[in-house]
Structure 1
Amino acid sequence: MARRALILLEGLPRGNGLLYVQAAQRLGLHPITMSTDPAQYDYLAAERSEAIRVNTENLDALIHECSRMRATYDIAGITGFSGADESVYATVGKLCRHFDLPGPSPTSIERCCDKFTQRQLLAEAGIPIPAYRLAANAGDVESAAADIGLPVILKPAVGSGSSGVRLCRDVDELAEHTTYLLGGKHIWRSSPRMLVEEFAQGPFYSADIMGNEVIGICTADFGPPPHFLYRECTHPAPLTDDEHRRIADVSLSCLQALGLGWGPTNIEFRWTPRGPVVIEVNPRLAGGTGPRLVQLAYGVDPITEHIKLVIGDEWNLRKRHSHTATARILYPERDGILDWIDGDSRAAAVSGVAEVKLFVEPKTPIVRKADYRDRIGHVIAASPSLAQSEAILQRAVDFISWSITPFPNLRG
């Protein structure tokens, strides 16, 4: 009898690929990662997990490889483990349709990945969103910002992980970021299309959903503007029953408007004087520490339950406990060469700390990109109460330190 395999399509080197591999193995599956460059996932060798080099942007090549594998394996399911690239899931959906496997609607995923199309569909459904305009050039950006009123958010219409997203507080910042996006520094996969959006101000919340069920709602703080880098995330968010219900109701309306509702979705909000305003709908699991926080807070492992859904097994989102889990994301304060970084073992030894991860080694060059790639580590703590979890987290983070020597000024 052929061994049951789970195909994992591409992702991020610092994403949740390892958790998918481990969860698949626990479920008795043989995980096979398909990647343009498998070497970027260092855990594959450590886990002795199979990988196949293939151009993951070429659907025909992926179909060919999966067809070839069916001679050896029973392919139980296909999914992506990306934490911040929804386009992977559109490809996953197409592969699942081709091989008649459970999977998301590729059309719905593609509509959702285009932030302008997503905004249009949400607006048509009467869902509260920020004011927005589409722009293709500097003139469009300038007139859109004048219509909406500064400050505005300027970002690519297609993209993820906060890449190219910036708060523009005045005309100089707007011009500077427009030049950045259009001047060759930002990589466009297609012709440049930008969104100019009203800056919706208020507390940030994020709903984690599987199928049509809201598993939990977290809150997050960001580092200093003009960029949007997650600094701290907490599950569950301290909400009243009414606030929780309102966010959950809007979340389910988003799924309906966008044709989602199969598999994981992550929806970001700002709580404004209008109530919950939708910032973005991501047709995937939350990236980074998100799945781990959900597991620690509620006893539900969203990655395992996602895999069960993918392979057609019965899944279970029943909460097993109610704790507060909180994460601090670590960022470098400057560009340069990382001389040293330590304290992680002492941080991990603090009672109540669930995870400490450092992503960089000494002598690594640090060049900040103002997006998810800037993360150099994280610490996660969990306990029965918010105050206790925050205290544990701070105690652990205080143990971690590093030194960065700035690059030499070569201008003389």
Structure 2
Amino acid sequence: MRNIIVLGGGEDQIPAYREGRRLGYRVIGVDQRPDALGAAEADHFLCMTTRDPEGIALALGPIDVAAVISPASDAAQEAVAELSCIYRTAHQPAPDALRCSVDKGFFRAVVGRLGLPTYRYAQHDNVDELTKAATSMGYPLIVKPADSSGSKGITVLDGPTGLLDAIEHAWKYSFSRQVIVEELVAGRHCAVESFFADGRLAFMAVTDRVITGPPAMISLSHIVPADLGDSVQARLREAVTAICAAVGHQHGPVNFDFVLTPGGDICFIEMGARLGGNGMPLLVQHAFGLNTVEAAIRLALDEPLHISTSCRRTAALRILAVDVDGVLTAIEGLEALERMPEVVDVQVFKTVGERVRAYTQAGHKLGYLIMVADTHEQLETALDEALRTLRFVVEPDVKGAE
């Protein structure tokens, strides 16, 4: 039996394990956490970092690998490319598209060369250069690692106080020790989940993205479709197509975060040449009837792509989380939540008795809630009721306790 390697064993990679097995392949999972969800899902599991392709290949030996994939993880994309070369798989990622996923400064430069709206930024590994750039730009600013995702290492600053701490915080999450400081762009936060086939934009879902406030600015929910108007939608399609053409992304999934400014500019923030995280494929499947996980695997297998949608519904994805570190002692209202007619899927990744973390980065989420309705207004009303119904009870950590 041929093998598919899935790098990462978290909740956003699990659908790839299940789709790979459904398509008839033996699934090899890789994650450095011995308790990763993928350990129980994989046919064979390697407990090691996903950023060591040579070590992974050495551990696996000369096996038949049909495809390598890592949904929702920028950190593993370079290893995806190298393992694809080592095992000579049919699909090879485009180098510049890969670099956009792991180097925010490179992506900003691509956007600038295309003449698309941009904003001031500076990327460096030297604290003096970063401090000088911050002083030149003024505040508010965002400080973040240039090569990380999931809102890890992000700090929003209203003034120079805390800048050095913010740079140190970003360094902790940067494999390259590259930190980027950039202007905080005001406006409406949105996201794009799209798929290219033979150089053509075959699918694009645009969501309104609700985020937490400073300092972390993490995604809380997505509502699709975002009501942006025909003109903005057309400009967005043109810009996404231009960016992907510039970096050679001819096939497969790609996602973007952007801000629509009060003046109507589309300011791209980040790009990921892979399936989106935070349950985005789940939202797309319920809203449009499109299984992007299956499509991404079939692309990696070099099979013909058939991107088509079977429905178009107003849908919301809410990330379930808590605001304190501690032990989960109860989950209340789950059965009542599941009986709500608008609820189409609830996934909870933690069980009573487990430790949970405050939602300061995407990896600390507790689950996903997917809802559908006829209108945005009905959806927002139902979502409010759902959040009142479901309650995670946490016994907080005692300050100073080990």
Determine if the TM-score, normalized by the shorter chain, exceeds 0.5.
Answer: yes
**1:352/1:50 CA distance change after superposition, 3 Å:** farther
Matched, 1:295 2:292: no
Matched, 1:270 2:259: yes
Aligned-partner Cα distance in 2 for 1:219–1:310: 29
**1:246/1:13 CA distance change after superposition, 3 Å:** same
SS in 2 for 1:14: coil
Aligned-partner Cα distance in 2 for 1:36–1:329: 23
Find 1:339's aligned residue among 313, 316, 329.
329
CA shift for structure 1 position 154 = 0.7
Give runs of aligned pairs for residues 19-58 of structure 1, distance below 5 A.
19-27=15-23, 29-37=24-32, 39-42=34-37, 44-45=39-40, 47=41, 49-53=43-47, 56-58=50-52
Aligned-partner Cα distance in 2 for 1:48–1:307: 16
* Alpha-carbon displacement from aligned partner over 1:114-141 (angstroms, at most 9, x marks no partner): 1112222221222222211123344323
1:400 aligns to what?
Answer: 390
CA shift for structure 1 position 268 = 1.1
Matched, 1:306 2:292: no
2:350 aligns to what?
Answer: 360
CA shift for structure 1 position 334 = 2.1
Matched, 1:18 2:8: no
**1:180/1:66 CA distance change after superposition, 3 Å:** closer
Aligned-partner Cα distance in 1 for 2:256–2:42: 34
CA shift for structure 1 position 269 = 0.7
2:167 aligns to what?
Answer: 178
CA shift for structure 1 position 193 = 1.9
Aligned-partner Cα distance in 1 for 2:147–2:11: 21
2:68 aligns to what?
Answer: 78
Aligned-partner Cα distance in 1 for 2:16–2:357: 29
**1:55/1:37 CA distance change after superposition, 3 Å:** closer
Moved more, 33-42 or 382-391: 33-42
1:202 aligns to what?
Answer: 187
Find 2:77's aligned residue among 43, 66, 89.
89
1:236 aligns to what?
Answer: 225
- Given that residues 330 and 376 in structure 1 are in contact (C-alpha distance below 8 angstroms), is that contact kept between their aligned partners in structure 2? yes
- Given that residues 78 and 310 in structure 1 are in contact (C-alpha distance below 8 angstroms), is that contact kept between their aligned partners in structure 2? yes
Aligned-partner Cα distance in 1 for 2:17–2:315: 23
CA shift for structure 1 position 381 = 0.4
- Given that residues 351 and 392 in structure 1 are in contact (C-alpha distance below 8 angstroms), is that contact kept between their aligned partners in structure 2? no
User: Which residue type is aligned with residue 19 of structure 2?
Assistant: A
Aligned-partner Cα distance in 1 for 2:70–2:323: 32
User: Which residue type is aligned with residue 339 of structure 2?
Assistant: A
- Given that residues 338 and 402 in structure 1 are in contact (C-alpha distance below 8 angstroms), is that contact kept between their aligned partners in structure 2? yes
* Alpha-carbon displacement from aligned partner over 1:33-62 (angstroms, at most 9, x marks no partner): 2314474333553x5734345553333333
Find 1:7's aligned residue among 4, 7, 10.
4
Aligned-partner Cα distance in 1 for 2:234–2:326: 46
CA shift for structure 1 position 240 = 1.0
Aligned-partner Cα distance in 1 for 2:142–2:42: 44
Matched, 1:124 2:110: no
CA shift for structure 1 position 107 = 5.0
Aligned-partner Cα distance in 2 for 1:180–1:76: 39
Find 2:55's aligned residue among 55, 61, 72.
61
- Given that residues 112 and 258 in structure 1 are in contact (C-alpha distance below 8 angstroms), is that contact kept between their aligned partners in structure 2? no
- Given that residues 278 and 319 in structure 2 are in contact (C-alpha distance below 8 angstroms), is that contact kept between their aligned partners in structure 1? no
- Given that residues 343 and 399 in structure 1 are in contact (C-alpha distance below 8 angstroms), is that contact kept between their aligned partners in structure 2? yes
**1:342/1:410 CA distance change after superposition, 3 Å:** same
Count of paired positions: 395
- Given that residues 68 and 83 in structure 2 are in contact (C-alpha distance below 8 angstroms), is that contact kept between their aligned partners in structure 1? yes
In structure 1, runs of 5+ residues without a counterpart are none
Identity value in percent? 21
Give runs of aligned pairs for residues 366-385 of structure 1, distance below 5 A.
366-368=356-358, 370-385=360-375
**1:410/1:102 CA distance change after superposition, 3 Å:** closer
Moved more, 124-133 or 294-303: 124-133
Moved more, 231-240 or 6-15: 6-15
**1:56/1:43 CA distance change after superposition, 3 Å:** closer
User: Which residue type is aligned with residue 90 of structure 1?
Assistant: E
* Alpha-carbon displacement from aligned partner over 1:323-378 (angstroms, at most 9, x marks no partner): 01101112212233333222222212211211112222333334436211221222
